[in-house]
Amino acid sequence: MTQPSAAITARGIRKSFGEHTVLADVDLEVDQGTIFALLGPNGAGKTTIVRMLSTLLKADGGTASVNGFDVATQAADVRESISLTGQFAAVDEILTGRENLVLMARLRRVRDAGQMADGLLARFQLIDTAKRRVATYSGGMRRRLDIAMSLIGNPPVIFLDEPTTGLDPQARIEVWNSVKELAGQGTTVLLTTQYLDEAEQLADRIAILRDGQIIANGTLAELKQLLPLAMTAASAPTRKEQR
């Protein structure tokens, strides 16, 4: 199939839980090979968007596509095109770093699982700790291993849901470098974050999400022209948090 210029599109997607509206007519477009940040406080609806785009949650309305496949009608194709890394590293602490990668590669029926594991360990600067149990890893190392595992099978689109939550400053920088490398290899990355500095460091484009609506969307330079309104709103507590 002909590859679309946009890796992710969403038009008017909506979601409510009972009487609580979580998302209201959200539009997004993420170009291939770029890093797109959804910036907003807790309760803004960031994780809900990721869950809908990754087929884990059905929208109440609107349309969305990932890698050219409709999220609602071609869910299996979407799932084959993506990898999702949640807010907490999904690694096996009993296994070594290399064993985690080899296991994931075998589960995904990748040939030469050991060779792929070694390549990812080198790419994410984990060679020296490859034979250590993950229980001994720092938070940053675990997150880098988690992201490395998400690349097995070379998915064209990766969702990172608040990838640096709970990490110390040095670990955050390590993860930032790993995310930048993803885009440098042509992977499309949609990440969610509460941190303005993270969006500034990583994203080609930033959408500010507040109370389930996109209140600003553009490059960092474009959004800075909206200061202080848009950037202040990005880090302010939501109505839900204020209650």
Mean pLDDT by 10 residues, the chain (243 residues): 74 93 94 94 91 95 96 95 79 92 89 90 90 91 86 89 84 84 86 91 93 90 72 55 44
Q: Is the omega angle on the peptide bond into residue 156 within 30 degrees of 0, that is, cis?
A: no
CA torsion sign, 84 to 182 to 187 to 193? positive
Which pLDDT does position 214 carry in this prediction?
93
Q: How far apart are CA 158 and CA 192, in angstroms?
A: 11
Which pLDDT does position 75 carry in this prediction?
96
Q: How far apart are CA 104 and CA 154, in angstroms?
A: 13
The architecture of the domain spanning 6-242 is 3-Layer(aba) Sandwich (3.40)
In the block, tokens 């797109």 appear at 36
Which pLDDT does position 237 carry in this prediction?
58
3-state helix, strand, coil in the chain (%, to 5): 40, 25, 35
